[in-house]
Chain A
Amino acid sequence: MSTPSSHCWRHIGVYGGDHSCPRLIEEIHCRNCAVFSLAARGLQKREVDPLPPLSSALQSTELLASRSVLGFRLGREWLGLSCERVIEVAQSRLPRRVAHRGAGRLEGLVAVRGELHLCVALIEVLQLGSRADLAGERSRLVLLESPNAAPIAFRANEVSGLRRIDTASIQEVPATLPTAIARCLSGVTTFEHGRMALLDDSALLAALEQALYS
């Protein structure tokens, strides 16, 4: 009886061997033979060699110091939002206006997957433009999670998708930015579309909630 490691199929078997194996009379071909299949299974149960040096690169701490953000544009400004807060990015649709609330920043009601949500004119809250500017083929509706409360949506001119931002590249909020937006930011960075202002989650949510009351 040959052991799997002796590769009998190559010596006395069919795969380049001399066909002298006695089991061939019964099995006709090595692939029908139990020794062969056992050897194959043995392959799957081998000890794995330690991974090559590439894995050590993956363990490097650089990768941990980064954030995943959703990049979107309001007016001419690109902004970044922690992706954990984002529930969905949907087709933009005109919100249903609510009676007596036209003067504030509440745009109205929108429907997303069978649920109705409040939509806030974030572009106006951050003073980056007016809601009339939010038209266009590329405009999208972003639905955000609100802790201990129902989600809130806002419309954006464009959503460029998820980006991984290296923490080291984040810089301080420039003093030149107006307060309305600066107080919601945690920093600025750059990406392929230019400057991206990174939003501070809690400040943003507070601003959105505030807009609901006014």
Chain B
Amino acid sequence: MSALIELLQGEVRMLVSELQESARLARTPATTDEAMARWSKRGQALVGAISVLGREPWSKLAQSVHQLSAGRSESLYGAAASAALQLLSEFADGPSAQAEAWLEARLADLHALLPALKQAPVESQADDVDNNPLIGLFRQEVDDQCSRMAQMLLRLEQEPDRLELIAPVMRAAHSIKGASRAVRLEAAVGLAHALEDRLSAAQRRGGAVGESLIEFCLANVDLLRQLALHGPTPALLARRDGLLAQVDEPAASANVAVNAPVIAQPSYIATEDSDPVLRIKASLVGRLIALAGSGVVSAHRLRPFADRQQRLRQGIAQLGRLVDDLHHRLGAPAQSTPLGAELAEVRRQLSETRHQTQHWIDEFAEYSRAAFDLNERIYQAASLTRLRPFRDLVLGYPRMVRDLARQLGKRARLTIVGEALEVDRDVLEKLDAPLTHVLRNALDHGLETVHQRRAAGKSEEGQLRIWASHRAGMLAIEISDDGAGIDLQRVRARLIESGRVNPTEAAQLSDQALREHVFAAGFSTRKEVTEVSGRGIGLDVLREAIERLDGTVRLSTRPGAGTTFHLLVPISRAVTRALTVRVAGEIYAFPSMRIDRVARTDRSAVAASEGLQYLTLAGRNIGLVPLAELLDLGSTRARQDRLDVVVVEHQGRLVGFVVDDFLGEYDLATRPLDARLGRVADIGAIALLPDGDPVILVDVDDLMRSALTRERATLAPAQADVQTRRKRVLVVDDSISVRELERQLLVGRGFDVDVAVDGLDAWTRLRDESFDLLITDVDMPRMDGIELTRSIKQDPRLRSLPVVIVSYRDRPEDRRRGLEARADSYLTKADFQDEGFLKLVHQLVGDAGAGA
């Protein structure tokens, strides 16, 4: 244990000095945030290291030190923190042989320190703000008002002599001032007041509104939003002081070009709605839609009843015919005779029953039609709650474009057409990143500088346009710029340069093909990485994002004139057309859009080669993969005589998934799988079939990857028999004490143990040597445990290596991340203390092997 203690002391010594450095940095406002972040990281490492001691009070001390980073920066250099670091420093510098005794002796000091560490200095303002139950509403209101103000300010910037636009901004500032007073956020009160003040002065002065005023107002609005969100942190307060110190410049210095052309601008200011917007919890809406959906299902179930009634009616008609027959057979006796009279009565009653039954059947048919109609309407209406106007997404874009352009020293204006279009909420959310990406690209690469534009005879201000419309049931979004366009010849040259395509092939590439190449991964015509849009174009990321929405993206460009991106996505992600299939007795579904074709074929048509089965269709070879086995659901229960295959294409490859049976094609209202399951491989979403049965949709991209990996694994040579040698374990952790502890535990059990200091180190070792088990931490430099696990599980050779993550992160979402990366197990450092760890190891790899 003493060697371990020495290692630990060394580590603690280093961490303490880094923490002291962070405390020093925290004193300067400029470096406060960075200092807090560093303290947090080092604090976490400290917790990990101290946990090796296995002593609860000391672990608590380390935790408390770490927690300080969640509070105010002053606490980092406060008395309690310094005392704690001092104590730890003494531990680190003491003789290792007497460390145990020392720890016992100083327990009293530790216990005195703990309460002091927990006390954060009280700043009544911050407390009031955070404890106030109205704070949620306040934040919402400020957010709304600030969005509106920003929009109006931008408009004002475009039309600086329209002083009537000032009033609404002042009104908004005024209400924020009042609300801030109510929640006692004094910092915001001052800011809002300044805003009101300056605008009022501008109003009184008359004349066009100056650029500097707009800048001041926009900065003010941003700061208000930040204050509402984060409270009066030192950083924000400093910014406020800086802002308020700016002197108001008179309008004379701002002679804005009054000759700006007055074109009919598409308005991007929301007009007051006569149909107000409500705030409803998403869960309530979800429940409403689910109930409405099951209402439709219930209405559907009325159909069999209607069918049965038809049969009843037919039965009665049949009965009537039989009685008529009988009447004839008996010689049609007259009604005056007893037999005749009875028969007549029978026929009469039968006729009456028939009429009544018909009547009731008709009534029921009408009822069930009405019920069906009503439920359908309820469902449609409920589904509409999922829609939001396109405007909600693009609200902040004009501002972003303006600011970004300035950053780049260019001028640009964004106009938006089709903002009123209703789009599914989910689709809207997922479009944010791609659209922002394209806009940033257009600004960075597409638009020329003011100088270049002037030389080219273009207007100094670049025009960007987003146009949203409905096209053939899909949402079509065009993002265009009037910049330099993409030089396809340069694309060709780059392809040759980078060695992707040889010169002869490159010469033959059509414009269309060249445009497609622009979307290829890692392709770039730029040599440098810019802060604004990253490396080159990066359009492969864009394409992936759009494809994940089951949409398409292409571009058109004219050299010197500009580029347009054409996006086409399904309006509603919520409803997916899918083909349901039976797999090992379960019902799963493929999104129809991703199906290349379906095939029902004779078993005799299947060929085999190198352990793989394949089918030839339309001149192409399609590798066959049994879906049930791939999904670990059991075995495919296909019929003897035929095979049902779903063929899917991905990046030029075709794979045929063999299923038990095709069932039908449906429009499914999908929802996500419960988050607590983590990310389940090969699965996309879940849904309900019209008859109420659950169905699981496959994630086609994932499925293709799994299928191709399986294919590769089948082709790889079999593993040599490893029963007789000692099992090897690789332990990865950046803390030397933790590494040593784990190593000792495992060596004690007879394993052969190697260590690695971070993810990258481990990855290199794994590729060169073979191990039976990997134990890894999460937080490590260069490559963290999650990334390492993911890489391992995606590599066909290493896929089967058992991976155990051991981390002191014990929140459910951390565990989920680990499981999502497909780790075989996730242990917290707390679990680690007892036999649990060794039991798990035994479970995963069995005994250490010979010589143990």
Contact = CB atoms under 8 A, between A and B. Distances in A.
Interface stretch (A44-52, A62-70, A100-108): A100-108
B693 A114 contact: no
A98 B688 contact: no
Given A96-B694, A97-B586, A114 B290 contact: yes
How big is chain A's contact interface, by range? 20 to 34
Contacts of B815: 213
B631 A111 contact: no
Interface in A81-132: 95-102, 106, 108-111, 113-118
A100 B290 contact: no
Contacts of B587: 96
B149 to A, nearest CB: 36
A201 to B, nearest CB: 18
Interface in B613-639: 631-634
A97 B585 CA distance: 9
Interface string B171-215: 000000000000000000000000000000000000000000000
B238 interface: no
A84 B129 CA distance: 35
B694 A114 contact: no
A115 B291 CA distance: 8
Contact of A106 (B295, B633, B677, B686): B677
B554 interface: no
A169 B478 CA distance: 72
Contacts of A175: none
B301 to A, nearest CB: 13
Contact of A213 (B633, B673, B676): B676
B297 A114 contact: yes
Nearest to B688: A111
A212 interface: yes
Given A115-B290, A116-B671, A118-B676, A98 B696 contact: yes
A109 B633 contact: no
Given A97-B586, A100-B682, A114 B633 contact: no
Contacts of A118: 674, 676-677
B681 A100 contact: yes
B647 interface: no
B441 interface: no
A110 B633 contact: no
Interface residues of B, number: 37
Nearest to A110: B694
Contact of B676 (A98, A109, A113, A212): A212
A99 B676 contact: no
B293 interface: yes
A132 B569 CA distance: 44
A115 B287 contact: yes
B291 A98 contact: no
Contacts of A213: 676, 678, 815, 819, 826
Contacts of A97: 584, 586, 633
B226 interface: no
Contact of B294 (A100, A102, A108, A113): A113
Contacts of B588: 99
Identify which of A111, A117, A118, A212 gathers the most chain B CB atoms within 10 Å of its CB.
A111
Contact of B686 (A116, A149, A150, A212): A116
Contact of B677 (A113, A115, A212): A212
Interface string B654-694: 00000000000000000101101110111100111000111
Contacts of A149: 676
A117 B294 CA distance: 14
B695 interface: yes
Given A98-B696, A109-B694, A213-B676, A114 B688 contact: yes
Given A109-B686, A114-B297, A116-B694, A99 B680 contact: yes
Contacts of A99: 588, 631-633, 680-683, 696
A209 interface: yes
A7 B743 CA distance: 101
B694 A150 contact: no
B676 A100 contact: no
Contacts of A209: 676
A98 B693 contact: no
Contacts of A98: 673, 677, 680, 683, 696
B696 A109 contact: yes
A118 B693 CA distance: 14
A96 B696 contact: yes
Interface in B280-313: 287, 290-295, 297
Nearest to A104: B677
B252 to A, nearest CB: 60
B181 to A, nearest CB: 34
Contact of B693 (A100, A102, A111, A150): A111
Contacts of B671: 116
A14 to B, nearest CB: 48
Contacts of B584: 97
Nearest to B822: A100
Nearest to B286: A115
Contacts of A100: 631-632, 680-682
B290 A96 contact: no
A96 B580 CA distance: 13
A71 to B, nearest CB: 28
Contacts of B695: 96
Given A114-B290, A115-B290, A101 B677 contact: yes
Contacts of B681: 99-100
B299 to A, nearest CB: 12
18 contacts: A96-B696, A97-B633, A98-B683, A99-B588, A99-B632, A99-B680, A100-B681, A111-B692, A113-B290, A114-B294, A114-B297, A116-B687, A116-B688, A149-B676, A212-B674, A212-B676, A212-B677, A213-B678
Given A212-B677, A213-B826, 13 more contacts: A96-B695, A99-B681, A100-B680, A102-B633, A108-B694, A109-B694, A114-B297, A116-B686, A116-B687, A118-B674, A118-B676, A212-B674, A213-B819
Nearest 3 Cβ contacts at the A-B interface: A114-B294, A99-B631, A114-B290
